[in-house]
Amino acid sequence: MSKHYKYNANLENVLSNYNKERMGFFKLLYTVGKTNKKVASLVIITIVAQALLVSIVPILTNIVIQQALFDNQSRQSAGQDYGQVWYVWIIIMTLVVILLSSIVFFKDWLFSIITSRLEVKFKIAILRKLFEQDISYYSDKKIGEIMTKVLYDTSNVSNEISGLLNSLIQAPMVLILGTVSLFIISPHLATAALVTVYSMVLILVFVVKNYRKNHLQLRNIMSSINGITADKINSIRLIKSSGTREYENKEIEKIYEPYLKQYKPVALKGAALSTILIASDVIVAMVVVIVAVLISRQDSESFAKLVPITAGLTALTRPLWQVSGIIPAISRASASAEKIYGVMKSKPLFLEHEHDGIIINEDIKRIELKNIVFSYPEQPSKTILQNMNITFEKGKSYAFVGETGAGKTTISKLLLRFYEPSSGEILINGHNLNKLNLPVYLQRVGYVEQEPQIIFGNVFENVKYGAFDKTDSQVIRACKKAKLHELISNMPDGYNTILGERGFILSGGQKQRLIIARMFLKDLEILVMDEATSALDNIVEKEIQVSLNELMVNKTTVVIAHRLSTIKHVDEIIVLGANGAGIVQRGTFENLKKIEGHFKKLYEAGMLE
């Protein structure tokens, strides 16, 4: 495993195994630092060095100003001495500038690199976590909301991390150094200035008290808007076919209303922050001058100390400006950190055992569904499958029929282990499916679903998906078997034609054929087919059936049937009763259509035409 992946795994593990309810920005910062100690130390060293050098400049300037203006003795009696101080100052300042420039250059370069790497690491970590989640994780979430987490929150956190590290370490250092230097120059004036400065900080903290909460709310609203936006774009066909463009135009305005409303307090507090900071500069200067005037009646030198004090104050108010940036940045970063952690901490309902699962080397001879009871985790009170017992023998074909909602598709989901049975077992050659190495098992299972999934990519990439080691000529052979070769050959770029997102350029039947070609390419033993009902017309359906029949040869096939043509020739039909009644009849087509019962009713009611 490369170092790069080790680091990712570390970050993922630490994030996944952190067991508190929330993870704020600071905890995330600590976690990132802990998983990459060397870079973190380098970052801290450069920031501290920069802060020290920045603070040294006013102190050095003060020394020279003092020497030049107030040390009359050295100026009058030894002009040479004064000249020496001047030259030494120039040399030191030149060195400081060279050192400071080098540090700033190195630090900024380092920060840019870290930001981009962190962003990628967060994105990879969150995407891997999303791949790990089981299907039920997605049933109550909008794609747009998930996209916001993957795209926005990861960028936000990584950008803020480098910016905030800078100000979080630098600001307190400069504040402390500035305070000390002011006290050295004049304790009275320093006290007056500092009381004013720190009062301003207190007011600042009070004003931004709820800033973080406001940002979190804003972030939640934006994420929900993104969810709705993605949903609208996905429903483009519905909008076009219903003539509802005007309605949608108005709807999107309404969707953004809460965002604008929530932005008001955020904008108000942001503006208050800048105002206080601008005012604080003037207020502090005023207070210092007033105090200097008052003191000058007893201490004549205090007025003269105004110059170095003002120089020192400039160094002190700078971190205050940084604080103004820190607070909203922490608020934004914390809101995003919580969202990232929300994904990272959620554990899948079951494991895929990709490292420790049982691998079956021999042919899959039998699949047994033993005493299966099933309810969806999303709706545990509703039993979908009731005490089901079926055995699928190698090379035979089975079809499930029943009214809509009877649980036919649910069986295919269990066989693909999208879900685990609530009780009972699915045994593959006698081994519990829950204990098998899932990726290896799925390599031998083909799934033809109602809505074929086409990825953004060319024909080769689409057909090879899941069988990446196959050659281009094997793909062409598979497409010929699926009766797709002629169509692809007539496309502008042939097999290199990009099929577009969700296969927009293909018809329903062509998409089905592409999936069949994918299945021909894989070395499958089991076929699970959820028949497309409405997508295909009768003629296309018949043509596709010919390809499917060829695909089914020598494979154990489980068909979720909606059409008569499929079930006529299967070895066994399993009839499911409505409302979780379970299996109510079994047999061949010829048998079932003759005897009184559920199947005959479905058949006669035309539900299988």
Ligand X SMILES: Nc1ncnc2c1ncn2[C@@H]1O[C@H](COP(=O)(O)OP(=O)(O)OP(=O)(O)O)[C@@H](O)[C@H]1O
367-377: burial string, b at 16+ Cβ within 10 Å, e else = bbbeebbbbbe
Q: Is 343 or 561 the residue whose CB approaches ligand X more closely?
A: 561
Residue 407 contacts ligand X per CB under 6 A: yes
Smallest distance, Å, CB 531 to ligand X? 9
For the record, the structure tokens of 452 come out as 């074929």
> What distances in angstroms separate CA 177 from CA 170, 205, 415, one per listed residue?
11, 22, 68
One-character DSSP codes across 199-256: HHHHHHHHHTTTHHHHHHHHHHHHHHHHHHHHHHHHTHHHHHHHT-HHHHHHHHHHHH
- The distance of closest approach from Cβ of residue 229 to ligand X in the complex, given in angstroms and rounded to an integer, is 24
- Residue from 171, 288, 333, 406 binding ligand X (CB under 6 A): 406
Closer residue to ligand X in complex, CB, 211/374? 374
Which 3 state secondary structure label does DSSP give 425? strand
Instruction: Out of 409, 422, 434, 474, name the contact with ligand X by CB under 6 A.
Output: 409
How far apart are CB 597 and ligand X at their closest, in Å? 18
DSSP 150: I
Applying CB under 6 A, among 408, 417, 511, 598 the residue interacting with ligand X is 408
Applying CB under 6 A, does 416 fall inside the site for ligand X? no
Write out the two tokens for 257: 């209303």
* SS3 call for 118: helix
Nearest approach, Cβ of residue 3 and ligand X (Å): 41
Give the residue with the Cβ less far from ligand X, 243 or 380.
Answer: 380
Encoded tokens for 368: 């047994």
- Write the CB contacts of 230 (distance below 8 Å, at least 6 apart in sequence): 142, 143, 144, 147
**Which residues, including other chains, have CB under 8 Å from residue 432's CB and lie 6 or more apart?**
425, 426
Count of CB atoms within 10 A of residue 406's CB? 23
- In the complex with ligand X, the residue whose CB is nearer, 379 or 554, is 379
Minimum distance of ligand X from residue 384's CB (angstroms)? 5
From the CB of 417, what's the least distance to ligand X, in Å? 15
Least distance to ligand X, CB of residue 257, Å = 32
Burial class (CB in 10 A: 0-12, 13-18, 19+), 452: buried
Residues 320-379 interacting with ligand X (rule: CB under 6 A): 376, 378-379
Q: What is the largest CA-CA distance in the chain?
A: 128
Residue type, 204: L
Judged by CB under 6 A, the number of residues near ligand X is 13
Q: How far is the CB of 346 from ligand X (least distance, A)?
A: 17
Query: Which is nearer to ligand X, 219 or 408 (by Cβ)?
Result: 408
Q: Write down the least CB distance from residue 518 to ligand X, Å.
A: 22
Stretch that binds ligand X, among 73-81, 333-341, 397-405, 547-555 (CB under 6 A): 397-405
Q: Measured from the CB atom, is 135 or 169 closer to ligand X? A: 135
Nearer to ligand X, 530 or 572 (CB): 530
Q: Which stretch binds ligand X (CB under 6 A): 14-22, 98-106, 145-153, 399-407?
A: 399-407
Question: CA separation (Å) from 75 to 82, 89, 553?
Answer: 6, 16, 106
Among 210, 244, 404, 554, interactor with ligand X by CB under 6 A: 404
Shortest spacing between CB 385 and ligand X, in angstroms: 9
Window of 81-89, 218-226, 402-410, 546-554 that interacts with ligand X by CB under 6 A? 402-410
Q: Which is nearer to ligand X, 402 or 452 (CB)?
A: 402
Quick one: which of 154, 181, 410, 556 contacts ligand X (CB under 6 A)? 410
Neighbours of 33 (CB within 10 A): 16
DSSP conformation class of 152: I
Within 103-142, which residues bind ligand X (CB under 6 A)?
139
Q: Which is nearer to ligand X, 357 or 452 (CB)?
A: 452
Check binding of 179 to ligand X (CB under 6 A).
no
Do strands 445-448 and 556-560 pair parallel, antiparallel, or not at all (unpaired)?
Answer: unpaired
Query: What is the Cα–Cα distance from 34 to 14, expressed in whole angstroms?
Result: 9
Shortest distance, position 577 Cβ to ligand X, whole Å: 11
Render the burial of 329-361: b for 16+ CB within 10 Å, e for the rest.
Answer: bbbbbbbbbbbbbebbbeeeeeebbeeebbebe
Q: Kindly list the distances between the CA atom of residue 323 and the CA atoms of 155, 200, 501, in Å, as whole numbers in the listed order.
A: 22, 11, 45
Which one, 164 or 406, has the nearer CB to ligand X?
406
Per rule CB under 6 A, is residue 451 in the interface with ligand X? no
Q: Considering the complex, what minimum distance in angstroms separates the CB of residue 455 from ligand X?
A: 23
Residue 225 to residue 230: CA distance in whole angstroms: 9
Site string for ligand X, 510-539 (x = CB under 6 A): ------------------------------
At closest approach, how far in Å is the CB of 343 from ligand X? 20
- With respect to ligand X, which residue has the nearer C-beta, 62 or 383? 383
Residue 384 near ligand X by CB under 6 A: yes
Contact, 448 vs 519, CB < 8 A?
yes
Contacts of 332 by beta carbon, 8 Å cutoff, 6+ apart: 156, 160, 215, 219
Nearest residue (CB) to ligand X, 214 versus 410: 410
> Which residues of this chain interact with ligand X, rule CB under 6 A?
139, 376, 378-379, 384, 402, 404-410
